[in-house]
Amino acid sequence: MAVLDNSGDIILDAVLTDAGRQRMARGEGLGISYFKLGDDEINYGLFNLAHTGGTSYYDLEILQTPILEAFTNNEASLNSTLISYTNPNLLYLPQLILNTNINKTYGEDVGFFQYNPAKNTFIVATTEGAVRAFGNATGVLNGVNPGRKRSRIRLEFGLNAPGKTPGSLRDREPELYDDQFAIEYDSRLCSITDLVGSPLRANFTDENMISTVIVTSRSNLVSQMTQFGSSDDPDQPEIEWLRGPMIEFKVMTSNLLQSGDPDSSKSLWQKHGTQDSSTDWDNTASTIGNTSTCGTSGQANDLDTRATNGDLWRISSNIRVISINTGAQIDVPVRFYKSKNFVTSC
């Protein structure tokens, strides 16, 4: 990574994105019809109203800020995109929020896992044995067969301003409305499914194995919020003011995690995972209180047994959701769990 000297004129520096290179490799035209601008390098605090040179020099330091050269790593480019709106009187911009409010009537289906050492994340159970060990605890996603458990990830899009009467974003501020979203995830670890557990085909995957799937109102993952009561009510959305779509999905664990042996040096568990200590789960295991056994062997399959044996492995990751038209985005924390002694299904 390098920067371009911005003390004078800059010659345009451009590279193809991953999607562009894939199209070129397939012999297709680029068909460029849209572009994005960003200001990742800019510190607007450098605007100097006290500059002795007068108004023409207030923004001189900003204009001379060194600019990053073009590069293709999606994770490091255009994190702060620019967008234009025709309304000069906007006081609020749309947000994506993660609804994990356990006090809602639907809270047990969308809430975070509530206990240490994985509090305030979503746990994804990577084998049938792990699914049974964590039981029906809130915040645990069935990564083997997502459709068998109601737990899901729920995001809401809109203007989240307190003290205002809730309404429809599409009707009140159509320029701020969006019903197209990109979901980015590490394809080595998982895929995205709909609420019945059917996996979605990725639109593209970059060289870092980060896949992107585009979901719209034409899919069954995006639906318009139609309740406009107070967000304090237990059956209402979390967005406090103007409500747009909500995005709901589940997570399916990859074959690499399901079949991978944590003892193998080639497994993702060894390369990217961490082994929990034998005492990390003591309090949580007794609270969840699952005492099931595994299959015909009758081997204890409760969380306490797995934790005490010190054989629980985890890999932490994020799933990023981005509003395509507004640039609003959010990272959803997920943690994949597997027991070394229960590598296969029960």
Closest CA to 328 of 209, 136, 220, 180: 180
Q: Of 23, 56, 82, which marks where a domain is finished?
A: 82
pTM of the model: 0.83
Residue 119 lies in a domain: yes
Q: For residues 146 and 251, is the Cβ–Cβ distance under 8 A?
A: yes
Among positive and negative, which fits the CA dihedral 96, 97, 99, 100?
Answer: positive
The residue behind tokens 């409760």 is 302
Quote the CA–CA distance of 12 and 62 in Å, as a whole number.
Answer: 18
Same domain, 76 and 109: no
Picking from 82, 109, 143, the residue at the C-terminal end of a domain is 82
Q: Phi and psi for 194 in degrees, rounded to 5?
A: -80, -175
Per-residue pLDDT at 343: 47
User: 73 and 101: one domain?
Assistant: no
Indicate whether 66 and 110 sit together in one domain: no
Instruction: Assess whether 55 and 181 both reside in one domain.
Output: no
Please state the separation of Cα 96 from the chain's center in Å. 11
Same domain as 281, residue 245: yes
Same domain, 59 and 133: no
Query: Distance (Å, rounded) from C-alpha 106 to C-alpha 102?
Result: 8
> What's the pLDDT band for 301 if we cut at 50, 70, 90?
low
Give whole-number Cα distances, 173 to 88, 94, 165, in Å. 13, 10, 14
Q: What is the structure's pLDDT at 263?
A: 84
Single residue among 82, 110, 136 that ends a domain in this structure: 82
pLDDT for the residue numbered 73: 65
Q: Domain tally for the chain?
A: 2
Structural domain that includes position 321: 95-339
Is 88 among the domain residues? Answer: no
In a domain, 344, yes or no: no
Listed range (29-38, 185-194, 318-327) with the worst mean pLDDT: 29-38
Same domain, 105 and 47: no
At 220, phi and psi to the nearest 5? -95, 15
Task: Check whether residue 226 and residue 308 sit in a common domain.
Answer: yes
In a domain, 87, yes or no: no
pLDDT tens-digit readout, 248-274: 999 999 999 998 888 888 999 999 999
- Could you identify the residue written with the tokens 């083997």? 144
| Averaged confidence pLDDT in the chain | 86
Q: Quick check: is 8 in a domain?
A: yes
How much is the pLDDT for 4? 62
My answer on whether 181 and 139 are in the same domain is yes
Asked if pLDDT for residue 68 goes beyond 70, the answer is: yes
- Comparing 56-60, 64-68, 169-173, the range with the smallest average pLDDT is 64-68
Per the domain annotation, does 346 fall within a domain?
no
pLDDT score recorded for residue 344: 47
On whether both 267 and 328 belong to a single domain, the answer is: yes
In a domain, 64, yes or no: yes
% of the chain residues with pLDDT over 90:
51
Structure tokens that stand for 234 in this block? 């237990």
Q: Which residue has the higher pLDDT, 108 or 73?
A: 108
pLDDT of residue 84: 84
User: Residues 177, 216: one domain?
Assistant: yes
Residues 122 and 76 in one domain: no
Q: Confidence band (pLDDT; 50, 70, 90) for 22?
A: confident
Q: To the nearest 10°, the Cα dihedral for 15, 76, 326, 321?
A: 120
Among 126-140, 220-234, 321-335, the range scoring the smallest mean pLDDT is 126-140
Mapping DSSP to helix (H, G, I), strand (E, B) and coil, where does residue 200 land?
coil
